């Protein structure tokens, strides 16, 4: 079911999300389906459970829409449950990020170039996977949400000052989106 996407200023986006009980398969299946439906109805490439008001450790990423730019993403879809980053590269890269919870704002963010993550997939099977390139960027961006962090927390201080008024407007609900959104 399509859920509203919570916007910057919503408390749930700043909470550390709780682990999901993998024994509750029905709950997991519904949450994952809600995330997929909501993402499909939006303009994004990834979505974390806190962004739909659920403080649980689950994200989905779908890079298929970026395959024209990054051909290795043509089949890249992941459901990542209870992730743990087990290693990060020392090498970093910068990319101009945006977020469904912070509409209309984009900023350069420096993150590790590759990460290795241990997680449960949609079938609740344990997976260890190394992500690189834009796939790594998408995964890291979404995993940040699970710890109550957002990309604007990682931008240069001068950039944060420049976008400050826009952030306040979003937190006050004075922003339009093409998808169902809310602040709570």
Is 18 annotated as catalytic? no
| Catalytic residue selected from 88, 97, 118, 142 | 142
- What string of DSSP letters covers the chain? ---PEEPTT-GGGGSPPBPP-TT-HHHHHHHHHHHHHHHHTSS-SEEEGGGGT--BSEEEEE-GGGTTT-GGGTT-EEEEEEEEEEEE-S-EEEEEEEETTEEEEEEEEEEESEEEEEEE-TT--EEEEEEEHHHHHHHHHHHHHHTT--GGGGS-HHHHHHHHHHHHHHHTT----SS-EE--
Catalytic site residues?
A: 142
């Amino acid at each position: 079911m399509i859920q509203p996407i919570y916007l910057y200023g919503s408390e749930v986006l700043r909470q550390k999300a709780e682990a999901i009980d993998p024994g509750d398969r029905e709950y997991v299946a519904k949450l994952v389906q809600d995330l997929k439906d909501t993402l499909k109805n939006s303009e994004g490439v990834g979505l974390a459970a806190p962004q739909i008001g659920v403080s649980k450790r689950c994200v989905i990423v779908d890079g298929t829409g970026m395959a024209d730019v990054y051909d290795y993403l043509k089949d890249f879809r992941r459901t990542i449950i209870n992730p743990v980053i087990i290693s990060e590269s020392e090498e970093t890269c910068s990319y101009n990020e945006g977020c469904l919870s912070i509409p209309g704002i984009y900023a350069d963010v420096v993150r590790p170039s590759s990460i290795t993550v241990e997680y449960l997939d949609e079938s609740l099977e344990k997976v260890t996977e190394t992500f690189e390139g834009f796939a790594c960027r998408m995964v890291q961006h979404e995993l940040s949400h699970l710890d109550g962090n957002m990309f604007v927390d990682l931008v240069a201080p001068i950039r944060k000052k420049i976008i400050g008024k826009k952030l306040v407007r979003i937190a006050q609900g004075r922003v339009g989106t093409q998808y169902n959104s809310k602040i709570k």
